[in-house]
A and B are shown apart, each in its own frame.
Chain A
């Protein structure tokens, strides 16, 4: 089983995050202005709770000293332990994207009708079983496939 139902969609409004336990992994699920992202809640640096840190921040850069540039199309989370920044969409660090990265997961919102159509996938061992899937609701589904 690779896909897990982790929350009802209304439990993850824009600007919020959830920390869920899926297949033995702690995962942070974020809703950034309607876009959903999921990252492993473990900083690749020292194992800090990466997704439980500060706010989701836009990319901040400067083309020259004092000439700032903000890119709202790229969002980062910073680890609460040392402040290292990771791209919320890709899991890649800002400072060394090729070598320092955290696992990111596909996350989607599916209706109860869609979920019940693929019933064997909603029978996850942990979180999923706590949800009684109703065809009238929408659910957040995270895919932890390798």
Chain B
């Protein structure tokens, strides 16, 4: 049924909407709130994660196509209030050329990161998430049925976040819930569990994605001085999150919960698993709900996108690391368009033996994402 060369791209990016764009989706009281100038939008927060001029954020090609706005973050779709001309078509043309027109492309999972976790107003955060999701569905997912969405949630307010997941559950265009990698506490903390419960209930994967502006340092040793430290150091954040999720018992609590690690890399996983498995044997009485080796939960319920590939100068050690993951069914293809990584996804995939390559390109995603398998009960 599936061509051997089929491709599922598990991480592509959509530009963030301007506040004016979102306002059109929102209740009138927010118009008054915005007019009063109290809320300036999240652009500066997004920029702190993806600096518009950084070579990692975007290629020159994409930057040029969206040059009416600073960098990628703002696309003034129908945003008459601040007079910005729509560049959605220009961005979509690039998305089509770079992602959707790839040979064999079956689906592309799109993330629209808007740094919502930086909004501490509970009602505004919830309504911004709703407006963002409705805008994503209408302005982007409607353009191509292969383009799948990620549900943005007000992550600081887990009950509201779970409610938003439930609101969109019937929309088959959304295949996952988007959480920023950086959070105020690690995600295994129980207060986040309503989000996991809702995602598991509705067959949605939970994606932890590079980013997060929650006011705490992005390293476990405090604030770094430079962007490169935040960029490369994000792997430490993912490591903390993976450990927390595995130890918390959330995978025991929700047997259908699945987590994808997006743009967090994967080369650090084998050593973390070796250490966790070994220490679990002696420390498991502390967490008796962890009934199997932590790595067993990881291989069953967690997947990672291949970007960024922390590639060594020669390919051999990289293949050893892939082998040390202990599963041929773990890595998900991701172009991470339009972000730019030192080793391109296709370069990495070309190194893999044929069977593993086919898994990475689409098989693993198809079996891991319940909504990327045909679901007759769900329809857009």
Contact = CB atoms under 8 A, between A and B. Distances in A.
Contacts of B283: 83
A41 B367 CA distance: 47
Nearest to B247: A65
A104 interface: no
B288 interface: yes
Interface in A67-89: 67-69, 78-79, 82-85
Give the interface centre of B280, B284, B288 by most chain A CB atoms within 10 Å. B288
A68 B249 CA distance: 12
Contact of B248 (A63, A65, A67, A85): A65
- Interface size class for chain B? 10 to 19
B282 A64 contact: no
Nearest to B277: A95
Given A60-B288, A95-B293, A65 B250 contact: yes
Interface residues of A, number: 20
B48 to A, nearest CB: 34
B280 A65 contact: no
Contacts of B143: none
B253 interface: yes
A14 to B, nearest CB: 23
A66 interface: yes
Contacts of A79: 282
A57 B286 CA distance: 13
A61 interface: yes
Interface string B176-217: 000000000000001000000000000000000000000000
Given A62-B249, A65-B252, A83 B288 contact: no
Interface string B274-298: 0000001111110011010100000
A82 B284 CA distance: 11
A85 B250 contact: no
Contacts of B282: 78-79, 82-84
Nearest to B278: A82
Give the interface centre of B280, B285, B291 by most chain A CB atoms within 10 Å. B285
Given A65-B248, A95-B280, A95-B293, A60 B253 contact: no
Interface of A is mostly: strand
Contacts of A78: 282
Nearest to B251: A65
Contacts of A67: 289
Give the interface centre of A57, A62, A78 by most chain B CB atoms within 10 Å. A62
B289 A64 contact: yes
B285 A65 contact: no
Contacts of A93: 281
Contacts of B289: 62-67
Nearest to A95: B281
Contacts of A95: 280-281, 284, 293
A65 B291 contact: no
Contacts of B250: 65
Contacts of B288: 60-62, 68-69
Interface in B291-329: 291, 293
Given A61-B291, A95-B280, A95-B293, A85 B252 contact: no
A103 to B, nearest CB: 19
A146 to B, nearest CB: 28
Contacts of A94: 284
A57 B248 CA distance: 23
A65 B249 contact: yes
A82 B281 contact: yes
A2 to B, nearest CB: 32
Contact of A84 (B253, B281, B293): B281
Contacts of A60: 285, 288
5 contacts: A62-B249, A64-B249, A65-B249, A65-B252, A93-B281
Query: Which 7 interchain pairs have the tightest Cβ spacing?
Result: A83-B282, A65-B249, A62-B289, A62-B288, A65-B289, A82-B282, A95-B281
Interface of B: 190, 248-250, 252-253, 280-285, 288-289, 291, 293
Given A83-B281, A83-B283, A85-B284, 12 more contacts: A62-B288, A62-B291, A64-B253, A64-B289, A65-B248, A65-B249, A65-B252, A65-B289, A84-B281, A94-B284, A95-B281, A95-B284
